[in-house]
Amino acid sequence: MSATASVSVAGVPGVEVAYYRKGSGEPLVLLHGIGHHWQAYSPVLDQLAEKHDVIALDFPGFGESPDVPLGVPDELDSLAHTVDALCKALDIDRPHVAGNSLGGLVSLRLGQLGLVRSVTALSPAGFWSPRENRWAIGLLTNLRRVARRTPEATVQRLARTPSGRRVLIGSIYHRPALRDPEAVIAESRALRDCPAFDRVAAHARRGITFQGDVPDVPVTIAWGTHDRILLPVQAARAHETLSDIVCRLLLEKKKVI
């Protein structure tokens, strides 16, 4: 079910976090990317919930979670501690965590802090070169600008046809025509209406990278070979940075780093 929890983060009370919860078993927390929402995981939620107590959340200022600037210099730690605070509010101790893009970076930070029992990071941010950083943040910023300027009726119309979906999301999806029209509309709204985007993007633009290792926590990193925002070459850097991980390139047979 979808719900909201009020948690205290970095000494700030009343931080509202929207989340969706389903299933039973060992807890699994799902973290979305910048400009997105928990519904990113809708295609796999039912399958995951067959074996896990699944919690998919909206970071503050994204999706249905109100924005609450916490005054914490490090946005990464702010997001990680928000996830931990939600878990504590739900009586969840050291869940498994999986995330993509920004959510993947936050997942790794949670593992580094020893707050989770395993980490799965899908094309995580934080392993980019300065040039790749500028590309990723610039592309997402431009997409948000377009989303904010495009009338809702136009988005609705374009999302209904394969060619229209190519126009809306072709710069970030390898096969945009296969995307569900309703999901495309919802993603456009999520990108348009996320007040925390500029703050988080500015922090990322300053060159945020993942530093150190993730000791004593199993880590799996997977990268899509057609990822157009966080380029697949970054998988090799992740493998070099983290000493004991499983790192795979997806959609490319028999290619394991």
User: Is 201 a member of any domain?
Assistant: no
Q: Please tell me whether residues 51 and 108 are part of one structural domain.
A: yes
Does 176 reside within a domain? Answer: yes
Query: Does one domain contain both 120 and 186?
Result: no
What predicted TM-score, i.e. pTM, was given to this entire model?
A: 0.93
Query: Are 39 and 90 in a shared domain?
Result: yes
Are 95 and 17 contained in the same domain?
A: yes
Asked if the structure places residue 48 within a domain, the reply is yes
The tens digit of pLDDT for each residue in 39-55 reads 999 999 999 999 999 99
Residues 115 and 233 in one domain: yes
103 and 15 within one domain: yes
Assess if residue 205 is contained within a domain.
no
Higher pLDDT, residue 249 or 165: 165
CB atoms within 10 A of CB 40: 22
Name the least confident of 16-20, 200-204, 245-249: 245-249
Number of domains in the chain: 2
Shared domain check, 149 and 106: no
Q: Express each pLDDT in 74-87 by its tens digit.
A: 788 999 999 999 99
Give all strands (DSSP E) within the chain, no chain letters.
2-9, 12-22, 26-31, 52-57, 96-101, 118-124, 219-224, 246-250
Report whether 95 contacts 86 (CB < 8 A): no
CA 177/CA 41 separation, integer angstroms: 19
92, 8: one domain: yes
Residue 157 lies in a domain: yes
Residue 88 has what pLDDT? 97
What is the per-residue pLDDT across 180-214, written as a single tens digit (0 to 9) for each?
999 999 999 999 999 999 999 999 998 888 988 89
Q: Which two tokens stand for residue 59?
A: 């970071």
Domain identity same for 54 and 113: yes
Domain CATH code at residue 219: 3.40.50.1820
107-149 pLDDT, tens digit per residue, is 999 999 999 999 999 999 999 999 999 999 999 999 999 999 9
What value does the mean pLDDT of the chain take? 92
The domain in which residue 70 lies consists of 2-128+212-250
Would residue 44 count as lying in a domain? yes
Claim to verify: residue 121 and residue 139 sit in the same structural domain: no
**Do 17 and 115 belong to one domain?**
yes
Same domain, residue pair 171 and 237: no
User: Is position 204 within any domain?
Assistant: no
Asked, for residue 166, whether it belongs to a domain, the answer is yes
pLDDT, residue 250, reads 64
Query: How far is it, in rounded angstroms, from Cα 233 to Cα 247?
Result: 12
Q: In the numeric block, which tokens belong to residue 49? A: 């919930």
